[in-house]
Amino acid sequence: MNSPLLELKGLCSTVFSEDTDQQIPILKGVDLAINKGEIHVLMGVNGSGKSSLAHVLMGHPNHQITEGEARFDGTPIQDMEPDERARAGMFLAFQYPHAIGGLPVGTFLKAAVEARRSEEVPFRVFKRELDAALEKLGISKEFLGRSLNEGFSGGEKKRNEILQMHLLKPTLAMLDETDSGLDVDALKKVFHDVREFANQDNALLVITHYDRVLDYIQPTHVHIMSDGRIVKSGGADLSKRIDEEGFEAVLGVEASV
């Protein structure tokens, strides 16, 4: 049998806090397997470690894996730089994408696409792909001349992340609270585009605080995270129960920690 696209076994991590100059434990033994063709939704209250998990997997400099295993496509990722992970096919749509003054979106996108493919992409080829993606996502070309994420509205930032996902074609796309800060119309549009992206050759890990994204995307798996662990997993019905009964009722006492 093929190994899962992403496989986590007993994953523990710490984050470095600049305020206290200390390593703070975050993940406390995460087990998870994601296969191609699957859409996983990871839910949990604030501070449960959802976003940290995404950053641990992407290789954030302040997050350290302390125990356990994380494999992507069968390869341990612990010693890989974020750019190596990205080139291998991982992607994270940031909740708070960084702004870089003077770096036009178009320039950035071309650099990212070329990095992902580890080859120079002729301008004409890139432009064709870019135009197609812009049209599909309904993004104006003027957007490309703006400085990356500088002065972007919340919605623009999120759409820019999704645009990158479409161009970079990762095999594992992690979406960190992509729904936050979006109004209903924008939410609908963005998750329509996310759904369009999903296919049998890739997988999604959608991190969200609210279950409203489930109106727009059909997960194959739903996980609930609490205090650095995945404490419950199930199918789409699990989120429905949370919606109706709340985190606490579904998880019992441990969710209220």
Partner 1 sequence: MSSEKTEVDFDVAEINKDYERLYGFHTNTDYLKNSTRGVSPDIIRQISKIKNEPEWMLEFRLSSLEIFNSMPDPTWMDGSVFDEINYEDLYYYASAGDKKYNDWNDVPEDIKDTFERLGVPEAERKFLAGVSAQFESEVVYHHLQEELEKKGVIFLDFDTGVQKHGDLIRKYIAKLVPQGDNKFAALNSACWSGGSFVYIPPGVKVEIPLQAYFRINAESIGQFERTIIIADKGSSVHYIEGCTAPTYSKTAFHTGVIELFAEEDAYLRYTTIQNWSTNVLNLVTQRAIAKKNATVEWMDGNLGAKTTMKYPAVYLAEPGARGRVVSIGYANKGQRQDAGAKMIHAAPHTTSSITAKSISHNGGRSSYRGLIKVNKGASHVKTDVECDALLLDDFSESDTYPTIDVRERKDVSVMHEATVGKVSDETIYYLKSRGIKEEDALLMVVNGFIQEFTRELPMEYAVELNRLIALEMEGSIG
Q: Which of residues 88-147 bind partner 1 (CB under 8 A)?
A: 91-92, 94, 97-98, 100-108, 110-112, 114-116, 120, 123, 127, 141-142, 144-145, 147
CB nearer to partner 1: pick between 204 and 214: 204
Per-residue H/E/C for 56-89: HHHCCCCEEEEEEEEEECCEECCCCCHHHHHHHC
* CB of residue 150 to partner 1, shortest distance in Å: 9
CB nearer to partner 1: pick between 98 and 151: 98
CB nearer to partner 1: pick between 122 and 200: 122
What is the rounded distance in angstroms from the CA atom of residue 103 to the CA atom of residue 156? Answer: 16
CB nearer to partner 1: pick between 111 and 257: 111
What is the rounded distance in angstroms from the CA atom of residue 94 to the CA atom of residue 250? Answer: 28
What is the rounded distance in angstroms from the CA atom of residue 231 to the CA atom of residue 52? Answer: 16
CB nearer to partner 1: pick between 146 and 241: 146
Contact assessment for residue 29 and residue 229, using Cβ atoms and an 8 Å cutoff: yes
* Binding residue count for partner 1, defined by CB under 8 A: 42
Closest C-alpha to 112, from 177, 163, 172, 173: 163
User: In this chain, which of 28, 36, 60, 209 binds partner 1, going by CB under 8 A?
Assistant: 60
Closest C-alpha to 139, from 153, 160, 168: 160
Residue 110 token pair: 């071309």
For position 208 contacting partner 1 by CB under 8 A, the verdict is: no
For position 169 contacting partner 1 by CB under 8 A, the verdict is: no
For position 83 contacting partner 1 by CB under 8 A, the verdict is: yes
CB nearer to partner 1: pick between 194 and 255: 194
User: Phi and psi dihedrals of 166, rounded to 5?
Assistant: -65, -35
For position 210 contacting partner 1 by CB under 8 A, the verdict is: no
For position 75 contacting partner 1 by CB under 8 A, the verdict is: no
H or E segment to which residue 107 belongs: helix 105-117
Query: 């969200």: which residue's tokens?
Result: 208
CB nearer to partner 1: pick between 115 and 249: 115
* CB of residue 58 to partner 1, shortest distance in Å: 5
Window contacting partner 1 (CB under 8 A); options: 19-27, 78-86, 225-233, 249-257 = 78-86
Query: 């003054």: which residue's tokens?
Result: 101
For position 168 contacting partner 1 by CB under 8 A, the verdict is: yes
* CB of residue 62 to partner 1, shortest distance in Å: 8
Beta strands in the chain (DSSP E): 6-17, 22-34, 39-44, 63-72, 75-76, 90-93, 100-104, 147-148, 172-176, 203-207, 221-226, 229-234
Residue ranges that bind partner 1, judged by CB under 8 A? 58-62, 81-83, 85-87, 91-92, 94, 97-98, 100-108, 110-112, 114-116, 120, 123, 127, 141-142, 144-145, 147-148, 164, 168
